[in-house]
A and B are shown apart, each in its own frame.
Chain A
Amino acid sequence: MSRAGKIVVCVGAALAAICVAWAIYAYWFSPTRILIVNPLPAQEAEIVLNNDSRSIKVKCQSMETATDFDHYDAVLMYGRGLYLDSLQLESLDKAARKGIPIFTNTLRNFSFVVTHNLDSLQIEMLQLYFSNPCRTNYRNMLRYVRHIATPQRIGDQDYSEPLAMPSNMYYHLEAGKYFDKADQLTAYLKKKGLYSPSGRNIAFVSGVNFPVENNRAHIDTLVSRLTEEGYNVYPLTATGKARAKMIKEVNPQAIIYLPMGRLGNDSLINWAYDKQIPLFMPYPLIQSREEWLDVNNPMGGGTLNARIVVPEIDGGMTPLCISTQDASSEGYLLYTPDPERMNAFIEQFDRFMKLRDTSASEKRIAIGYFKSPGKDALLASGMEVVPSLYNFLKRLEKEGYNVSGLPLTLEEFRQQLMAYGSVMGSYAPSAQEKFMDYTNPIWIDKSDYERWAKETLLPHKYAEVEERYGKAPGSLLARGDSLAIAAIRYGNILLFPQPRPALGNDEFKLVHGAEVAPPHSYIAPYLYMQKEFDADVLIHFGTHGNLEFTPGKNAGLSQADWAEVLVGNRPHFYFYTTGNVGESIIAKRRSHAVIVTYLTPPYVESGLRQKYAVLIERLHQAIVDPTKNTSDLKQEIIGYGLHKDLDFDSVGTGIYSQDELKKIDAFVEELVNEKITGSYYTMGQPYSPKDMLTTVIAITADELAYSRAKEEYEKDRISKEELQDFTFISHHYLPEAKRDLTKLLTGQASCNTVNNEKALQVKALLTESAGAEIDAMVNALKGVPVRPAPGGDPVLNPNVLPMGRNMYSINAEATPGEKAWENGVALAEQTLTTYREKHGEYPKKVSYTFWAGEFISSQGATVAQALRMLGVEPIRDEQGRVMDLRLIPSEQLGRPRINVHVQVSGQLRDIAGSRLKMITDAVKLASTASDDIYPNYVAEGSLEQEKRMVEKGESPKRARELSTMRVFGPVNSGYSTGMLGYTESSGEWDNRNELAEGYFNNMCAMYGDEDNWGVMNRDALEAGVAGTDIIIQPRQSNTWGPISLDHVYEFTGALSLAATVVSGKEPDAVMADYRNTYLPRLQDTKEAVAVETRATILNPEFIKERMKGGATTAQMFGEIFRNIFGWSATRPGVLNENIYDDLHDIYVEDMYDLGVKEYFERVNPAALQEMTATMLESARKGFWKPSDEQLATTSKLHSEITANHGAPCTEFVCGNKKLQNYIARHLNKESAERYNKDMAAAVSESSGARVLKEESRSLLSPTSENTASIYVVLSVIIFLAFLVIGLWLKKRKDKI
């Protein structure tokens, strides 16, 4: 054999030997590779760290990353929440075909179970190991798996049978000590010297089935600390009935639950509240500390749901994150308690429990209330604050609290509040000086303040304050080295107004993305409350303040978040209107508030039915019999001005068509049936008998009318169309329903006759509610827990009654619910039908506004609308959660896919972030839809968005990424759009385009996916808004409307303005009206404004009703005027062109002789000053074209009030020098001088609103040059062509 041959043979032999050796090793000696999929990180650490065999290699992977199952010898999966996609399933099948044992641990009936190559005995054995988690069992489980997966391999094949752990047990710090009965644990605690005979028992429920051994530092810390505080702690782990039984066995005075879903069923919860056992629900986070503290990483999805949303249903308090999971030195995730949060929880818990021990006379209560700057009234949505506060204090006095010095009369109390408890604006230095000199504020020395700040705030947080506002004491209410705070002390009760959370400057700019620290003047009262006053409890009085909207995390706050640190570790209670559940949730999660609901104002008759009675009758006759449709009727309609609200012609001759008559009829029916609220509610005072009657009817009449109509439909007496026709129902069934209910409620009829027990139940609940909130608060101050309840408008959901309860939200993961999906689909299709009827084609882009309250109340119907537009539908799991999306085939959809754009409030972003990501996923799905037989406007929109972004200077890759971004909102961790302040600081802007600029700067944070969560991109927002055809605003409550709530113009108006500026055309604007639960419908915003305007601010009956109220009710008028101004600035087309003339006639000329001026001068002159100022500013801006006489009378009224009552120092007036000059110009000389003097005495430079400062991007000239790229290519081609021709000619010449 040649040398080469020998070499080949040797090499071949060596290779063969290696292969054989490898084969032998692999078969007999290699370690068993076990893959564990979807363990909780704590379990992962437990299993891996307890593996004592070198022959076993364990790898743990999350379900998202698990692949290549066939590279392992065995696969074990945790079934909870498990979901594998088709690729992963394919890989699993491949592994199964290779004979690899695959096991899914199913503690419950999960929908996803994969088990292969295991017999029933093996499955049972593995299940036993998993069900009895402890070190020994984990160790033996791995050996057992080695034994069954690779039995031929040598070594470590021995294993022990599973150790039976009690599934329901009490335990304590010592490992291995488990107890079946509470008595046994008690005996053990006594033996160990850990039992305190006078101590309170705590049932401490930890996570389901684990951790029992190891990796439970947070549990051990809690148990130890609580025991040190003198409590007897009974840790237990159990589920279902066993849990309830074991909790009751402890006979606890408190329950601490580390939540994973609900504590128990309603029976257990009711038992706990009946026994007055408070529920505390702090939680560990399965996140690293960095992730937890990262403001740009909000809590969402299943974690938010399990740890916070669901526990809220049980009324759990103190939603604090007490530990995180951080990597050990070996890289395994271990629970790591956060010392500061632990201390915070222990302190909050202890303070709450000690409320039971402290006598009423010794308790110190701090009450923060809300007020606009200057002489404006105290504020709370729907509540007359001063009398409510007075009633509450009187009740405390009666209960034995030390309220010494409380005035004997309400009027004196009011005067003291206005004098000593005012809020100062930075634009009024003279007023500040007067306040400091004459009202005896509380002075805080700089050294004390800084010491408190050092003790309470993190150094870098305080540094932010100093960087922004300078060293203490700052500029507001400061003198020398002292800071004044407005406060009133009555014995052990401290009342203080919540100060301004930021101070504007001339440029009113804030750097976006940065956490804006509050000024010293804001921090000081809260620190004083904690450190000097040492409050036992903090109460915030009424909806709502701004502490919970200071920047920071959406939930799971830390010491780095202002809301958490300023409330401190006091039990925190918050009186909140039941009508605003969305924002109350933010207060709960961001300032650990326990909500105590109070009633909305009563619903009252608008009195419009009488006014329009004849017209209604004529309309119905004309509709039924067209011969009765005459020009007289048309003239009557024109006389009422209804044609303007509906954009019908105003020609006096001729007649309206039948369709037009039907629309007018529908409009008038809506008008006369519009639910309006009367004067604001005063806590402790029941509704008057008349108000009670009208409120109960408002709540129950619709249901009765619809149920009767449905009975008629079932008997074929009316058609389906009639059943679904709001106007038909209103005309034929509603009046009778109201009459019958009136008889029932006034005792003239019985339940049997009217067939409606509900009305009497509602009446009883409403009666119970008045004062229930004070009762609940008084009990809470004694350490009695507040019961949970849903929230919202009682008309829509009477289950919110009675009041005095702690509102909760919904499980966002289960939205849109099935009913919500139906409603959303119906409304989406209605939107398209209506638009097509009007414009003859489908809209290409629909813009939505998402709010938290509407999201909660409608169970996500707003989200459903957007999904339906895109042609995507939700896929639910067995538990009803929306886990995935499905593209609706084009054929089935039957129309084009419509592009969407969504603007969200900060509150909605916080409670339903996962839904926003879902919408983005839906957009991506719809954008890539192929085989569409109808146009795909979503894909077109994405392409257009990408092109625009590239034109604006984004890289193509980034533009592609952002082309599917559709969801935008305010800056991350912030809640304000800034548009309210901006619009109403009307002296600071001159044309509407500036407002649009403000909108683009403030609302351009993207909320589509994790990578871009909260990233500001103005160009993306512009691209998103461009081409909007229709804007939809949800409406889910009868307690507000488009002119009574500022947020409507803030969102809809501002978006409309922005779209108009970008696209050059104003989109349609409609409201998705869910107030009628039977017939959700769309309504043009102009029509909605017209209905509300006619029913309220221009309706003498409404005005008379509201004039029964006090200062806060009076302030509401000012708010409506400002909102009308806001609409004028953003979308004037929604307003009737005569609105200001009408307002002038009613409020300046007092055409109805209501005594308007006298009323305002008596209760709240600042409100009338604000109203007149708003009208004059509208004139100055050109929104109102008044006559000279109108200007003169309005200016005169304004100046008279100012002369009689002083400058109001509200921002609208005192912050606007241009307005002041304008007013002065329309006064006579003497009045002008007097007015100028009065204003100068109070104000200085203007205040500002906030426009986020845009980061300047240096777009170099090639950006614009790049726009000529196509021309460049053409130029090159032409040049080359000439060159070629030239050369050819030259060559020809040479040849010649």
Chain B
Amino acid sequence: MTVILVMLYVMIALTTLVRLSLMSIKIWLAIVALWGLVAMVITYCISGLTPAEISNLLNMRNVVIGEFIELLIFITWLFSSGGKSRILGIYPGVMICVPIAFLSASSYRVFPGMDFTVIAILTGVSVYVAMIGFIFLCRYFRLHKESLYEISLLNVLVCVSTFGLL
């Protein structure tokens, strides 16, 4: 189950990051900064939650369904044009909050004894830097819409498998 969970989270992150890499630099920088901030806040809030409570929040079933919907949006955007494309193009992907939350929850185990605020900042900065790094990597490799399409299909496969195993 752990492996499936990890794969799901990785695919969610990957898909969203590839999508972001296809946006203009100013936009994705702003979005990534926002996610860094969100990561910080989530990390701080999560300090008061038990793993059971976190699991309830990150209910796998809901995550899979949410990701599926997000993939539909991405794929629809890929094959649309004109106004519809512009509207759907605004959507940057929100399901990346799930792997971020998971990372936040794990960060306390990595830094035991550290002040919670410091852990939150570190996590936020790490997410920010990692996302930027990965997006730059995507742009370096000149990933394009077709890449997003391929990754989305792979992600659909993972989602369907995960859902089936639940």
Contact = CB atoms under 8 A, between A and B. Distances in A.
A1291 B110 CA distance: 36
Contacts of B134: 1280
Given A958-B50, A1279-B10, A1270 B110 contact: yes
B73 interface: no
A1265 B106 contact: no
Contacts of B105: 1266, 1269
Contact of B2 (A956, A1270, A1272): A1272
B69 interface: no
A1260 interface: yes
Contacts of B56: 1260
A753 interface: no
B37 to A, nearest CB: 20
A954 interface: yes
B72 interface: no
A955 B112 contact: no
A1266 B109 contact: yes
Nearest to B112: A947
A760 interface: no
Interface string B41-64: 000001111111111101000000
Contacts of B110: 1269-1270, 1273
Given A943-B112, A1269-B106, A1284-B137, A954 B50 contact: yes
Given A957-B47, A957-B48, A1268 B142 contact: no
Contacts of A265: none
A946 interface: yes
Nearest to A948: B112
19 contacts: A943-B113, A947-B109, A950-B108, A950-B112, A953-B52, A955-B46, A955-B47, A955-B48, A956-B46, A957-B48, A1259-B52, A1266-B51, A1266-B105, A1266-B106, A1268-B2, A1272-B2, A1275-B6, A1276-B9, A1279-B10
A956 B116 contact: yes
A1262 B47 contact: no
A953 B2 contact: no
A1291 B142 contact: yes
Nearest to A1267: B109
B94 interface: no
B122 to A, nearest CB: 14
Contacts of A1272: 2, 6, 102, 106
A1288 interface: yes
B5 interface: yes
Contacts of A1261: 1, 55
Nearest to A1273: B106
B89 to A, nearest CB: 23
Contact of B48 (A958, A1265, A1270, A1287): A958
Nearest to A1264: B2
Interface in B86-124: 102-103, 105-106, 108-110, 112-113, 116
A955 B53 contact: yes
B58 to A, nearest CB: 8
A1276 B10 contact: yes
B12 to A, nearest CB: 12
Contacts of A1275: 6
B142 A957 contact: no
Interface in A1232-1284: 1257-1263, 1265-1266, 1268-1270, 1272-1273, 1275-1276, 1279-1280, 1283-1284
B10 A1263 contact: no
B108 A1287 contact: no
A1288 B2 contact: no
A1265 B47 contact: no
A1291 B141 contact: yes
A1288 B143 CA distance: 11
A1263 B53 CA distance: 10
Interface string B130-152: 00001001000111000000000
B112 A1260 contact: no
Interface of B: 1-2, 5-6, 9-10, 14, 46-56, 58, 102-103, 105-106, 108-110, 112-113, 116, 134, 137, 141-143
Nearest to A946: B112
Contacts of A1260: 51-52, 55-56
A1263 B141 contact: no
Contacts of A953: 50-52
Contacts of B109: 947, 950, 1266, 1269-1270
A1262 B50 contact: no
Contacts of A1276: 6, 9-10
A1257 B2 contact: no
A1027 to B, nearest CB: 16
Contacts of A1262: 5, 51-52, 54-55, 58
Contacts of A958: 48, 50
Nearest to B58: A1262
Contacts of B52: 953, 1257-1260, 1262-1263
A271 B92 CA distance: 89
Interface in A128-182: none
Contacts of A1258: 52
A469 to B, nearest CB: 35
A954 B54 CA distance: 11
Nearest to B103: A1273
B14 to A, nearest CB: 8
A1261 B2 CA distance: 9
A459 to B, nearest CB: 38
A1269 B58 CA distance: 15
Given A955-B49, A958-B48, A1291-B141, A946 B113 contact: yes
A1263 B51 contact: yes
Interface in A944-965: 946-947, 950, 953-958, 960
A1269 B101 CA distance: 12
A941 to B, nearest CB: 11
A1291 B140 CA distance: 10
Q: 10 shortest A-B CB distances, which residue pairs?
A: A1269-B106, A956-B108, A1262-B55, A957-B47, A1260-B55, A957-B48, A1287-B141, A1263-B51, A943-B113, A956-B47
B6 to A, nearest CB: 5
A637 B151 CA distance: 83
A1258 B102 CA distance: 19
Contacts of A1287: 141, 143
Contacts of B47: 955-957, 960
A955 B50 contact: yes
Contacts of A1257: 52
Nearest to A1272: B6
Q: Which one of B48, B56, B113 has the greatest number of beta carbons of chain A within 10 Å?
A: B113
Given A955-B46, A957-B116, A1262-B54, 18 more contacts: A946-B112, A946-B113, A947-B109, A956-B46, A956-B47, A957-B48, A1259-B51, A1260-B55, A1262-B52, A1266-B51, A1269-B109, A1270-B106, A1272-B2, A1280-B10, A1284-B137, A1284-B141, A1290-B141, A1291-B142
A1266 B112 CA distance: 14
Contacts of A1273: 103, 106, 110
Contacts of A954: 50
A930 to B, nearest CB: 13
A684 B89 CA distance: 100
Contacts of B2: 1265, 1268, 1272
A1268 B51 CA distance: 13
A1282 to B, nearest CB: 11
Nearest to B54: A1262
Contacts of A960: 47, 116
A1276 B165 CA distance: 21
Q: Which one of B46, B54, B55, B137 has the greatest number of beta carbons of chain A within 10 Å?
A: B55
A1036 to B, nearest CB: 38
A717 B46 CA distance: 70
A1284 B55 CA distance: 31
A244 to B, nearest CB: 58
Q: Which one of A950, A1263, A1265, A1268 has the greatest number of beta carbons of chain B within 10 Å?
A: A1265
